[in-house]
Structure 1
């Protein structure tokens, strides 16, 4: 007898188990022919059914449909119609549709017993949500349930398809039992980044007993730069609503909202959100100390660059001492020989921290050789380094600032109390490192440095949270398959092997799974597959999938993925709704500088400093007639002052700086610099 709570009796039997000499039922798969009913006609690939085994119920995923008749060859049908397809048949030939069902799990009626017996001939039903959850091992989860996808079965419940969240086990996603997530699919068609965001949001909402944070690298446009902005504007913001409409940004559909409700998730953006980006090359010069708090978002190499964004956008700025450990990745390997490397080690040993320090040392070396020449001595080395090596280093270091593309400044950097990309994380923090405007060496440097420092923090127990998720797109670039190694690849392999024990989880995504290091993908207990190209699907990485499943992966629509998890005996298809945040071009279209007037920028800046700004008409009255560049200049000064500890009302300070409006604005510059103490409080 089949477990009554495991079968949808309202839909009735949708088929009957069939066995033959060629296709016997086994513990892992069986076949059944379908009934001629409305419910049976809804059967499709990926649906889940239940059938009776001996004292047990088998729950299985549909795969490999085939239609059979009693013809021995195609010629028999051709001759029956005399080769004329217009002829009417004397009688309809019987055809049956047969499905292969791959067993997810078998539930014995005695809860103390396990069953691996093949099913017996008998009726097949649609599986209920209760049966699907059992078959996916939910009852055996050691951690909390994290919904990743939504499975839709062919039976109807409450006027729509039966929907079951596809949960994964927290302990097998974030550790310590296993860990890591890998997503594969074609660029632009498989929604890899969207699902990574969806999964992180699901974790944030479903693990209340742990402090969790995420670090993501933005490599494409503005994909991850506006994750704190909702997918639709607040109802009390008509000006914002107009900008959303102009950008063609619509909200979630009713169907997507139903999916969120079925998954038990709220539709909300990431609230604790920070973006880090390097300086634009050439915007800051000089030999003195750079006050990082004075750097505005507009000076950073990011698409989130309006003055109002300075409250959540922060700089990544390096001194020469931060660059020297990566000299082997900056300079051409053929050029970076042992002699050159030895000179770089000399710089590190002498604690050369800045380009200014380096230039001072080069002047000393030049004086050393000049003094020797003046004394008539023939000297070809300095501290064991040949003059040719020193000249070579001088030439290569001359191009270092341009190679680093804004990362490297001339003097020292004072961050003060400003957040840094390698700081400990806060609970539910989403931290994005924007490298989308970089390429080659500087992009590689930032990823290598940030992940390396995070790994060191994890080993020292200084992450600040219980679990940290690191999302790396284009994983085949940073951890490629093959013997070629690099410090970054070695770190990623370490994270995949040991990270779950140090509270680090790697979420990796790539277009070609077969081109990622085997250890990295092999240690991922959870894998997702979107639409895949035919040149990839033929790789051995997909040999465990059936032919039908591989063919499905060639044509998956957006939002539909195949999920494989440590608890699942068979991978399962599911869907997910769009993340409820702005992604891509819509963020810059709505919140970019060309779409914000200066009054809105003032409002947003005041809000970013933790204060409630006045109404838009009041702000517009303040800035009316004042040159926009002057307002921006004063905004930047106010923001920098409050970042450095100034107290009081930032709008009041700005109002004083502008003299109360255009009629009293004298254009003589900021009074903050002339009397900051007077304005405090």
Structure 2
């Protein structure tokens, strides 16, 4: 750090002499015409004998207090306010040290001038000068840009992002998509070819909010454009977006089940042949509680038998000469074979009891209602759409919001399995694949085991070397598998529930920030990264892309007349679907 006292910034006070100053924390008495607020960056210096010379000590304000000096009793405040008792108001700020340069860990001296860091001094205090690849993530309380070190995001030195906060208030999805926008438009990952080859897979679980990422937000104003410009980004929509939606239930044509966007959407489903050949049956039983049941041995036995015996036949499959053309028929066939005394042992194994087989059969039968439209034998195999980021645009959005819970788990599990296996076969970390998954506590809960959880653990522990980066969001990090959270180099917190904020998973937040997380407004996140010992309070700009149909303008295409309001042709009012979104609701 080459900053001198003349270039450190604006003087705001002096190091306090009535409170202990240590190499890691100290207090600053704020000058009468100055102020310090939480998250301000402060720097001071201390002269030491050679060879150390001048030591620059930088930090972030983590607490601020004001008190009357000269008052002895609480009631003195009234006499002081009336001018009957002499006293002086004094403000002081606690500084948590973020950097010492050179690394001579000595406390600042009482009386040393403290500066509000600006320019180069601020960059050095927050270690931005050490970052070879800076990824803009928003602005600080001082209105200046804040950055992530891309080395801890793309797997070079670390990987994975964990985002926590209250649903609907913490803006987890908004921040995750802004992070992706910065990744694809800032050039922080490298050259144009590097960024162009990077892919993202997003699972949409809340309404149809993420089906319009390729449309510019019609609420985008000049102020928002300037906010993006300040971060070195050009405000606009995502490019090269591929959208997948499930096949509509009961529709023999296999059309996509979406209401607000009827163009530019691909249908996804799996053929019966793919279901058997790719051994997807375990993902029908993807609840973490299922894995603790004994019938899981039947699941794996039946899976192996289907892989051996099923052969493609006119869009469906044939097993022992019997043609099956739907998931319902496949389930009925499996249950029938398990109920047959002669074939039961071949399908389930000889040591499995009848009660265990019945438990498996009951759950398999219950899956027909949820998975029948996803596993098909009535559509030509040439039309089969499997979700693949390798064959899609830069952004792949998989819409799950119309699916029941079991079907959502199936799609997430199978898609992650196929993508991870594809990266394993490639054997290289390039190109990168960012996976955005909300409700992570549902797919990878702390207790229990399931096929999805095992895939997510694989991604958390080995994904860095294969170029698969998980951006997981959840309401409660305390309910997510510990190893997944522990492997996240970047941790982000929005508005928190008071009980959740007290959990040890948020120990990286200083006490003041834990308290502030209870009050954080939409659009404010606390971002922790390895190089900076204090999480940064970040405000990220309003989405420049459409976050709902009403923001997408006429470019969204044709919408069925029965699903729109004539006063606003892009406000979905299909009450039967339960997807109506108030026009005045902001995406944050």
TM-score bin, normalised by smaller chain? 0.7 to 0.9
Instruction: Tell me the SS of whatever aligns to 1:571.
Output: strand
For residue 342 of structure 2, the aligned residue among 381, 390, 402 is 381
Structure-to-structure mapping, 1:93-242, within 5 angstroms: 93-108=87-102, 114-120=103-109, 121-141=111-131, 143-153=132-142, 163-205=143-185, 206=187, 207-209=189-191, 210=194, 211-232=197-218
For residue 534 of structure 1, the aligned residue among 492, 495, 498 is 498
Give the match for residue 566 of structure 2: none
Provide the TM-score with structure 1 as the length reference: 0.70
Alpha carbons 1:68, 1:95 under 8 Å: kept: yes
Structure-to-structure mapping, 1:662-677, within 5 angstroms: none
Alpha carbons 2:443, 2:453 under 8 Å: kept: yes
- Bigger radius of gyration, 1 or 2? 1
Provide the TM-score with structure 2 as the length reference: 0.80
Aligned-partner Cα distance in 1 for 2:439–2:504: 20
For residue 259 of structure 1, the aligned residue among 210, 222, 227 is 227
Give the match for residue 35 of structure 1: 31
Aligned-partner Cα distance in 1 for 2:543–2:6: 34
Query: Does residue 277 of structure 2 align to residue 318 of structure 1?
Result: no
Aligned-partner Cα distance in 2 for 1:382–1:555: 62
Structure-to-structure mapping, 1:401-416, within 5 angstroms: 401-411=368-378, 413-415=380-382
Shift of 1:385: 4.7
Give the match for residue 466 of structure 1: 431
Alpha carbons 1:304, 1:588 under 8 Å: kept: no
Shift of 1:501: 1.1
Instruction: Tell me the SS of whatever aligns to 2:175.
Output: helix
In structure 2, relative to structure 1, the CA distance for the partners of 1:464 and 1:61 (3 Å cut) is: closer
Structure with greater helix percent: 1
For residue 241 of structure 2, the aligned residue among 264, 273, 298 is 273
Q: How many residues align?
A: 520
Query: Does residue 38 of structure 2 align to residue 45 of structure 1?
Result: yes
In structure 2, relative to structure 1, the CA distance for the partners of 1:63 and 1:395 (3 Å cut) is: closer
For residue 19 of structure 1, the aligned residue among 17, 20, 25 is 17
Aligned-partner Cα distance in 2 for 1:582–1:575: 19
Give the match for residue 616 of structure 1: none
Instruction: Tell me the SS of whatever aligns to 1:257.
Output: helix
Give the match for residue 572 of structure 1: 536
Q: Cα RMSD over matched residues?
A: 3.4
Per-residue displacement from partner, 1:302-321 (whole Å, max 9, x unpaired)? Answer: 33542xx1xx3112111224
In structure 2, relative to structure 1, the CA distance for the partners of 1:107 and 1:382 (3 Å cut) is: closer
Give the match for residue 7 of structure 1: 8
Alpha carbons 2:217, 2:552 under 8 Å: kept: no
Shift of 1:594: 4.2
Aligned-partner Cα distance in 2 for 1:151–1:452: 38
Per-residue displacement from partner, 1:308-366 (whole Å, max 9, x unpaired)? Answer: x1xx3112111224445343443694694655764453333202557552595389x9x
Alpha carbons 1:318, 1:409 under 8 Å: kept: yes
Aligned-partner Cα distance in 1 for 2:209–2:455: 25
Aligned-partner Cα distance in 2 for 1:491–1:228: 29
Structure-to-structure mapping, 1:507-518, within 5 angstroms: 507-518=471-482
Per-residue displacement from partner, 1:531-574 (whole Å, max 9, x unpaired)? Answer: 11101111112234332111111101111111111111211112
- In the alignment, structure 1 segments of 5+ residues that lack a partner are 109-113, 154-162, 233-249, 285-293, 366-378, 598-681
Aligned-partner Cα distance in 1 for 2:360–2:437: 34
Instruction: Tell me the SS of whatever aligns to 2:32.
Output: coil
Aligned-partner Cα distance in 2 for 1:200–1:138: 20
Alpha carbons 2:212, 2:549 under 8 Å: kept: no
Aligned-partner Cα distance in 1 for 2:175–2:359: 48
Aligned-partner Cα distance in 1 for 2:406–2:439: 16
Aligned-partner Cα distance in 1 for 2:72–2:320: 85
Shift of 1:491: 1.4
In structure 2, relative to structure 1, the CA distance for the partners of 1:327 and 1:47 (3 Å cut) is: same
Alpha carbons 1:280, 1:405 under 8 Å: kept: no
Structure with greater strand percent: 2
Shift of 1:529: 1.2
Give the match for residue 606 of structure 1: none
Instruction: Tell me the SS of whatever aligns to 1:152.
Output: coil
Shift of 1:423: 4.8
